[in-house]
Chains A and B, each alone.
Chain A
Amino acid sequence: MSDLGFGRILTCAGASALAAALVACGNGSTSVTLPLSTSALSGSYVFTATGTDATDGDYSVVGSFVADGKGNITSAVADYNLGSGVDDNVPLTGTYTISAGSISVTLTDGGSVKDTFTTAPVNASGTAGVSNFDGTGSGQLYTQAASGFSPAGTYSFSLNGEGDGTISGSGQFVAAASGAFSSGTLTLNDAQTSTTYPAVTGLLGPVASSGRGFANIEGNNLAYYVIGPKQIQLMGLDARYLLTIPAQKM
């Protein structure tokens, strides 16, 4: 896929590695206009999105994809917790285009699953916003570096979602090399109820080449995606509630 020739304004102070490679900055205050090519999306990424579907209710999605820098999503996988049920570990492919400085991504399983969203080149911290996911959903895009990840470590996490009401919470767990949790704590708030779990059990299962793995916290099945050696994103796979759990290795 060719470069569509649209440009965008970048400031050196906030320029991505890509931009830095394309322009030599002076004192960091100069604004330049750069063409944004399909190479703006190249490599492995993790994306998240939450939103509301008009007929299906609230949903959450997490996935990963590999962009070839030429407009193609060569491989992708995603997990969906939809209002009408869970669809996990869905293999996808796709395409993306560049227009007016934003990147439009389309993912599909070749059948009924078809997702679209817009994003931008990731910033210096390796993130970018996701918007217009299947309409009005929004989320985050992360560059992915899954190869250096191993489950072992102490993680801290926050927890957000929908149960009886709005779910919030935080905690930590210690995963062994096998992925099994040896200890952990969790404080969960759902609607008006707060519950503390002093000995969290769980698992970070084997990770596929996509950076996706199966996880479990306190009997709840989740998918997780490796963002980097010290960062993962988990999402609940129980249709009764929505859970998104970003976790950092301490």
Chain B
Amino acid sequence: MKLNGNLLRAAVAMSILGGTAAYMTFAPAKHMKTVLGSDHREAPTVDGLPEGDITDVYSFVDPNDSTKVDFIMNVNPFAVPAESGSYAFSPDLLYQFKIDNTGDAVEDEVIQIKFDQPGQSQTASVYAGAPTTTGARNTLLAAAPVATVRFNAAPATGSSGITVFAGLRDDAFVFDFAQFTRILNGSQDLFRGVPNYTEGTTQPSGGFRGRGIRADGTSGVDSFAGFNLTSIAVSVPKTMVRGSGPMINVWATVSQQVPTRHGQNTYTQIERQGQQAISTIFVPSGAARDAFNFAIPQNDVANYSSLIPDALTTTDNDGTGNTISGRAAVLTSLGLTALPNGAPLLLPATFGNTDKNLLREALLPDVQRLNVDQASATTTSGTLDIGQFGLQNGRPVDFSTIDLPLQILRQLADVQFPSGTGIPGSGPLGTRAALGCTQYPQCEDRRVLVVLQGTQFITPDANITQYLDGNDLPLLTSFPYLAAPHPLPGNTGTINFPPQQ
């Protein structure tokens, strides 16, 4: 297939990200109503509550002890190393890992973490067991803590075999968010520029704008490099979380305390996360993400399936060859499945999916699906089973957080292309739930270009198929696995700061 070069702009799509809406109120603080709240934060969303803003969740079989599984939740995004002494967890919040081991997206086991005071003198108490209540409103378990640890102290192991760490860590999330933003706002086209594109019959003026290739074979810039956050990591015996089988669903939540007249140690959910970037990619920004954060996985399929496009299958669904193999041919023809212009295909062109709901099944409910009897997915030790595991088996700290979803979406997300172009997907929309790209040569949504290359080029091209994130600091080889926090600027180990004089 020979395609017009401008079709590169319209070749594959993903959707739905918007600008951040400023928070504003139409009613000022009131005086008439008696307010007896104490020191808890008042903002209704996590935007104003960094201690409750989950940045990432990880779950994986402990690589050093296969009898244990590890769960990590990070909050306090963009913690600046120079102010490291100011970050801690909130004693007003309840942090929870929720584990479903029966497959109904309802928690059967919870690991609750509560902090006793603000500031870095705080101690974390870990509670574990079957929840008193399930859903968005929870109560602290009544039993005694199974482990405790001081902020920033070495991991501590309780009598039940649970090991816990709570403290500052490097942010292990790797994403060229700056370039992503530029693509969305139209000032750039791709993660990596393609100035001399030759595959098409018509060369867009100036080629496709993007970052250049450096000598080390990278293009991307990790927008999260150099920042710290606060992390809760627990390592628990498998026997504490598994059900009758090895599969568990895992997600993390943060909850705010309700008025004490409504219950002691009772909390209502304000934040949650399962798989990486689901809310960011598929849920419109602003209030809709608040709604998503307040909701529970049990209702995700009913409430959010409409946000996920159909998956391509082996069957042509619009008379233009709109199949997985058709998409692969388009991408290959455009030169986007080979370096330096794009990552190789993740899935073979013969990928035998026959289920148009595959993406929905992989992404919803928003939980991490972990086989506790299987080493977590990396290129060397795991497997990729979309649908069974969602995006990956659990989520190891070093695994490709962004590139993998980009590659899955560019190969599987159904897209409506301009009619009459002959591109697979340019046929009638019919009942297809496809992402819109009917405004040629650019899709209606600038975000469609984000997935085109299947990578953000942060790792060197030579390592592109290793599916490792390429964090700015080396990850630890033992619990809690996340890298140590960035030091004060100028201290040994500082990145991009002059040494201390």
Binding site for B on A (CB under 8 A): 55-58, 80, 82-91, 109, 111-113, 161-167, 178-180, 186, 188, 190, 193, 195, 197, 201-203, 205-206, 208, 213-221, 236-243
**Which of B45, B133, B137 has the largest number of chain A CB atoms within 10 A?**
B137
Q: Is the CB of A208 within 8 A of B299?
A: yes
Cα of A133 to Cα of B43 in the assembled complex, Å? 28
Pick from B21, B31, B35: contact of A239, CB under 8 Å? B35
30 contacts between A and B (CB under 8 A): A56-B259, A80-B259, A82-B259, A85-B258, A88-B268, A90-B137, A91-B135, A91-B137, A109-B262, A111-B139, A112-B263, A161-B27, A163-B27, A163-B28, A164-B30, A165-B32, A186-B26, A193-B28, A203-B288, A206-B295, A216-B286, A216-B290, A217-B26, A219-B22, A237-B44, A238-B25, A240-B27, A240-B29, A241-B28, A243-B27
Q: Is the CB of B262 within 8 A of A214?
A: no
* Interface residue B496 (Cβ < 8 Å from any Cβ of A): no
Cα of A220 to Cα of B23 in the assembled complex, Å? 8
* Interface residue B37 (Cβ < 8 Å from any Cβ of A): yes
Measured between beta carbons, the chain A residues less than 8 angstroms from B30 are 162-164, 240-242
Pick from A57, A178, A193, A195: contact of B33, CB under 8 Å? A57
Measured between beta carbons, the chain B residues less than 8 angstroms from A203 are 286-288, 291
Cα of A73 to Cα of B268 in the assembled complex, Å? 23
Pick from B264, B268, B284, B304: contact of A112, CB under 8 Å? B264
Given contacts A84-B260, A89-B294, A240-B42, contact A220 B35 (CB under 8 A): no
Measured between beta carbons, the chain B residues less than 8 angstroms from A205 are 287-288, 291
B68 smallest CB distance to A (angstroms) = 34
Known: A87-B259, A219-B21. 13 other contacts (CB 8 A): A57-B33, A85-B37, A85-B259, A87-B137, A164-B28, A201-B21, A203-B288, A203-B291, A214-B295, A221-B287, A237-B44, A240-B33, A241-B30
Measured between beta carbons, the chain A residues less than 8 angstroms from B34 are 56-58, 83
The 5 closest A-B pairs by CB, nearest first: A57-B34, A216-B287, A205-B291, A206-B303, A241-B30
Measured between beta carbons, the chain A residues less than 8 angstroms from B45 are 221
Cα of A13 to Cα of B34 in the assembled complex, Å? 44
Given contacts A57-B33, A205-B288, A216-B290, contact A82 B262 (CB under 8 A): yes
* Interface residue B102 (Cβ < 8 Å from any Cβ of A): no
Pick from B21, B25, B135, B263: contact of A111, CB under 8 Å? B263
Measured between beta carbons, the chain B residues less than 8 angstroms from A214 are 287, 290-291, 294-295
Binding site for A on B (CB under 8 A): 21-37, 40, 42, 44-45, 133, 135-137, 139, 257-264, 266, 268, 284, 286-288, 290-291, 294-295, 299, 302-304, 306
Pick from A91, A112, A190, A206: contact of B261, CB under 8 Å? A112
Q: Is the CB of B44 within 8 A of A162?
A: no
Measured between beta carbons, the chain B residues less than 8 angstroms from A112 are 261-264, 266
**Which of B44, B264, B304 has the largest number of chain A CB atoms within 10 A?**
B44
Q: Is the CB of A239 within 8 A of B25?
A: no
Measured between beta carbons, the chain A residues less than 8 angstroms from B31 are 164-165
Q: Is the CB of B268 within 8 A of A219?
A: no
Measured between beta carbons, the chain B residues less than 8 angstroms from A197 are 26
**Which of A56, A190, A236, A241 has the largest number of chain B CB atoms within 10 A?**
A241
Cα of A179 to Cα of B283 in the assembled complex, Å? 12
**Which of B33, B35, B37, B306 has the largest number of chain A CB atoms within 10 A?**
B33
Cα of A185 to Cα of B307 in the assembled complex, Å? 27
B492 smallest CB distance to A (angstroms) = 44
Quick one: closest B residue to A206, CB to CB?
A: B303
Q: Is the CB of A239 within 8 A of B32?
A: no
Measured between beta carbons, the chain A residues less than 8 angstroms from B28 are 163-164, 190, 193, 240-241
Cα of A28 to Cα of B23 in the assembled complex, Å? 55
Cα of A147 to Cα of B39 in the assembled complex, Å? 41
Pick from A87, A167, A216, A243: contact of B268, CB under 8 Å? A87
Cα of A11 to Cα of B258 in the assembled complex, Å? 45
Cα of A164 to Cα of B29 in the assembled complex, Å? 6
